Amino acid sequence: MKQLYYVIRTLLRGRGSNIIKVISLGLGLTMSILLFSRVAFEQSYDTCYKDYDDLYQIYSIFSAEGEQFEPQKQNCGPVAGAILENFPKEVEAAASIAYFVSSPLYNGSVRIDARKILADSLFFKTMGIEVLSGNPEKDLMQNDVIFLSDDLAQKIYGGENPIGKVISYNKELQLTVKGTYVDLPENATMRPEAVISMPTAWSRDWGNYSWRGGDSYYEYIRFRPGADKEVVNTRLDAMIQKYRPEEDKKAYGYTAFVKPIRDVYRDEDQVKRMDSIMSILALAILFIASLNYVLISISSLTYRAKAVGVHKCSGASGGTVFSMFLLETGIIIALALVLMGLILLNFQEFIEDTTAAKLSVLFAPDRIWVPLVVVLVLFIVGGILPGRLFARIPVSQVFRRYTEGKKGWKRPLLFVQFAGVAFICGLMYVVMAQYNYVKDKDMGYNPHRVAIGNV
């Protein structure tokens, strides 16, 4: 308790430099935690599904005239079902979905814009999405059936039971609501608010659901627990050739493979590039904020040396002085976190728009470890380095003026700090230059008075 009293007295005595510390750390923590949290959010994509390690997505590879094209997520419609049929020991369920239902829904005359997909009867079982009501394995085998997400059902019908209600698709089809399911979170690559039965499309000849082209279907399989997943990839090409028409084999090549859904999003080049940039920037900001705190703390060594000597004359050991400085660092970091909270609260809309994610999502319980680790690293770097210097001040300093002696260690710290600032400024300049280049680049046509719209 007495140590806390002395620490507070010290903080009040040097309040000018401590205010600078709080502001510096508050801004540094805000930026680094937001960036690290965004990276953690990106890396958590598609982990919302039940037993996601057993959930795989199917990729197709086409080739023609000796040229092999890049793997694509769109597949021929029957592929998923054929895998389920040919690998019953390894595969538990398989599903095909399609996105060619872009027209709006209508509840009477009220238009409802919602994300919709076509899916077969094993969609929910394959993806591991919790069904709240209805029997999708039976209901999605019928024509003109729709399942709604819990949020969309609440939005349309309020507290009423949606089961049995009729909703219109583009004022052309009457779809019967047969069930509801749990909404998918923002870190899911597929977030349908409504699922329409695949037979609805088949009965009207929408799309080409066959082995002869029609690569418009996104397909997934769920392995049985403990199944050998490589068996499917090893034998998949031979299985596909068994179903393909002979004339198509002469025209073009077609193979496929399956990939863990966990890796689908985070293995994309754009995602990896952005995660690398954000991680480097966050590390640089955290490093600079930590060094800035260390340098400001050490700069007070000259006038605080006598106070440390007095503490040691009163019986304080080096460990006691060290713990007092750690306590001081903890209080300053706590104040910096308060400042960070005020920044997030007052600029929430701007921050969410910039990070393209809600703060409630970035700081979700399963990602709360990110700010905790950042704060811990800052506490260790900012507390231990200066704390050891203060703890080593001899008792004799109470009787004479303290001089810092060698200053060589300061210059490397300052060099690293200035280099970090220059790096961040240079990186931001490059980003702005690229943005302006893309924004102002000649597109080859006059964009004035040109409008676009969804049909």
Residue at 343 is within a domain: yes
Cα–Cα separations (whole angstroms), residue 443 to 432, 448, 454: 19, 12, 21
Contacts of residue 118, Cβ cutoff 8 Å, sequence gap at least 6: 97, 98, 99, 100, 101, 195, 196, 197, 198, 200, 201, 206
Query: Can you tell me the distance from the alpha carbon of 185 to that of 182, in angstroms, rounded to the nearest whole number?
Result: 9
Query: Can you tell me the distance from the alpha carbon of 304 to that of 401, in angstroms, rounded to the nearest whole number?
Result: 11
Same domain, 109 and 41: no
Give the best-scoring range by mean pLDDT among 21-25, 30-34, 314-318, 413-417.
30-34
Same domain, 317 and 414: yes
Checking if the pLDDT of 226 tops 80, the result is: yes
Q: Which has the closest alpha carbon to 389: 326, 441, 314?
A: 326
Domain limits for position 339: 2-45+268-440
pTM: 0.80
Same domain, 333 and 427: yes
DSSP state of 49: S
Same domain, 16 and 116: no
Query: Can you tell me the distance from the alpha carbon of 5 to that of 82, in angstroms, rounded to the nearest whole number?
Result: 73
CA angle 147, 78, 231 (to 5 degrees): 110
Residue at 198 is within a domain: no
Same domain, 158 and 289: no
Let me know: does 255 contact 237? Beta carbons within 8 Å: yes
pLDDT tens for residues 76-129?
989 999 999 999 999 999 999 999 888 999 998 899 999 999 999 999 999 999
DSSP state of 102: -
Query: Can you tell me the distance from the alpha carbon of 18 to that of 12, in angstroms, rounded to the nearest whole number?
Result: 8
Number of domains in the chain: 2
As a whole number of Å, the end-to-end CA separation of the chain is 70
Of 250-254, 355-359, 366-370, 448-452, give the lowest mean pLDDT range: 448-452
